[in-house]
Structure 1
C-alpha cells in the first residue's frame, strides 16, 4: 500500500510538472548595431500562441509544455524571420535574439498616361456596433483585423487608411498597418516591408493615418490589416473597432496566429487610393 501511495504521489508530481507553463524571456535586437527592436511579432505560427516585444525590445512569453516540440518564430517588418525550436530556447535563457535586416527589391512603378482618380477602397459604413478582441480573452498580445481590397487589375497608389476606434479605458492607442497578399481568400505573406505605426486617439471616433510618404504601389488584390499593439498596463479589451452588418470579417487573435473569417459582418475600415 505504501509503495502504491509513493508511486501515485510521484505520478501526480510528474503530471503537475508537465502541466506547468514554460517562461521565455529576453530581448530582440537588430543585427549590426544591436539596437532593440520594438513590437516584434513572436509566436508559434497558426496556433494562436504569441506575444510581441515591448518598446525596448524586451519580451516575457509563457506557454504550456505541450509546445516544447513546436517552433517559435520572430517576425519584424524589414527583417528576416527567425524560427527556433522552443526546446532550444528553453535551454538558452536569458534569450538574446538578433534579426538580420531584409534586402528587398525596389518596387516597380507603373506609369499610365490616363489621369488617375482618388477612390475609397474598403468598408466606409458603420452601424452602432463595435468589434473588439476576437476571442474575448484578456491578454497583452496583439490582435488584428483585415479587409480585402479588389483593385480590379488597376495600378493602385495607397494614400491613407481610415477606421473607427472606441475605448472607455484609454485616451490613445498604438496601431500598425500591414499589407498582405491574397492567398486563397485569406491574408498571406506581407507585401509591404515598411513599418507603419502610429499612436492614435481612442475616444469614439474616426482616425486616419497618412501613407503618402511610404510610396505604396500595388497592382494585385490585397488585404490591409489593422493591428492593435497594447501598451504596458493595457489589455486587449481596452480597444474596440467599428463594424457593420453584412460582408465578411477577417481576424486573428495572436502574433503570427491563424487567420479566421466569417460572413455576416465586416470591419469599418477603408483606404483612400489613386487609381
Structure 2
C-alpha cells in the first residue's frame, strides 16, 4: 500500500512538472515574475516569482487563447493549443526609459504620517479577488520634496468561531496571501504611468494584525507634484515559505443557463470607510485588456453593497520623509 502511494505521488509530481509553463526575458533568460496571464474572458491567473504558472486544457477546457502582460514588457497573445513550456517576452525599452532615476537626497527631513483607517467589522469590508486592482489617491499638499518610505495597508481578520467575532482575543482564521503593489502617477485624475517597474509584493498572514506596513524606502519613490496612486492586488494564497500556490482562481457553478464562473474570494478582508470626504478609491478589472479605471462611487455602474452604506474608500496610510529646503 505504501509502495502504491509513493508511485501515485511520483506520478502527480511528474504531471505537475509537465503542466508547468515558464515565462522568461528574451535577453537575460531571467524569469518574468508575477506576469498577468489573461484568458480573454475576464478571468486569468498570475505567474509566480519564478515566472511559472500551470495551464492545462483539462483544468481550463474552454480557454483557447492567453494574453500575457508584465511591467516593462510587450504584451503577448498566444494560442493554448500546443502551448510551449517556455514563453519568451520582449522588454519594452521605451517604457523603461520613462522612469526617471532620482539621485539620493542628502539633507534634513521630517518624518510625516498619513494614518490608515482601521476597522474590524466584517460587513464593512471588500472581499479581494484576483480580477480586481484597487488604487488609492494621495494628493501632494505642498511643494516640499517628499519620499515615500512605507505604505500602511489596513486588513481585517476573521474569527474561527463566528459567535466570538467581536472578541479581540478570539482565535483568527489562518491564511497566507500574496499581494502585488504598484505606484502610479496622477494623469488627469486617474492612475497613469507607473513610478517604478520593480515588482513589489508582500505576504500577509493573520499574525500581522489589523495593519501591514510595507517598507518601500529602497525604491526611491518621490511624490510627484500632482500626487500619486498606490494600488493593491491579490495574487493568491501561498505556502508557508511564501511561494504562490497554483490554486484555481474561480468557482464554477452549473445552472439552467450554463456554467457561471465566480471569482474566488481571498483573505484577508480589506476594510472600507465612510470617514473620508473625497472619493479617493478607484478600481480596475485586471484581466480585461485596455480596461479603464473607475472611481469607486455611486453612479459609476459599480455593483457593491459597500456603496449602499457610503463606504467609498479603502483607507490606506503612508509614511514619508518631507525634506527641508536647502
Q: Comparing both structures, which one devotes a greater share of its residues to strand?
A: 1
Picking from 159, 162, 184, the partner of 1:180 is 184
Gaps of 5+ in 2: 1-18, 159-172, 238-244, 250-263, 298-309
Would you say 1:261 and 2:295 are equivalent positions?
Answer: yes
Q: Distance in 1 between matches of 2:175 and 2:74?
A: 33
Deviation at 1:111, TM superposition (A): 5.6
Deviation at 1:95, TM superposition (A): 5.9
Gaps of 5+ in 1: 1-23
Change (3 A) 1:126 1:238: closer
Change (3 A) 1:64 1:35: same
Partner residue in 2 for 1:7: none
Q: Give the structure-2-normalised TM-score.
A: 0.60
Picking from 68, 74, 81, the partner of 1:81 is 74
Change (3 A) 1:83 1:33: closer
Q: Distance in 2 between matches of 1:118 and 1:170?
A: 34
Deviation at 1:117, TM superposition (A): 2.4
Picking from 163, 167, 171, the partner of 2:175 is 171
Q: Give the structure-1-normalised TM-score.
A: 0.70
Q: Distance in 2 between matches of 1:189 and 1:42?
A: 20
- Determine if contact 1:26/1:95 at 8 Å carries over to the other structure: yes
Aligned pairs for 1:45-194 (under 5 A) are 48-56=42-50, 57-60=52-55, 62=60, 73-77=67-71, 79-84=72-77, 89-91=79-81, 93-94=83-84, 96-101=86-91, 103=93, 104-105=96-97, 106-109=100-103, 115-121=108-114, 124-129=116-121, 130-133=124-127, 141=130, 143-152=132-141, 153-168=143-158, 169-194=173-198
What is the aligned-residue RMSD (CA, Å)?
3.4
Partner residue in 2 for 1:251: 283
Q: Distance in 1 between matches of 2:36 and 2:90?
A: 15
Equivalences, count: 236
Picking from 189, 195, 200, the partner of 2:199 is 195
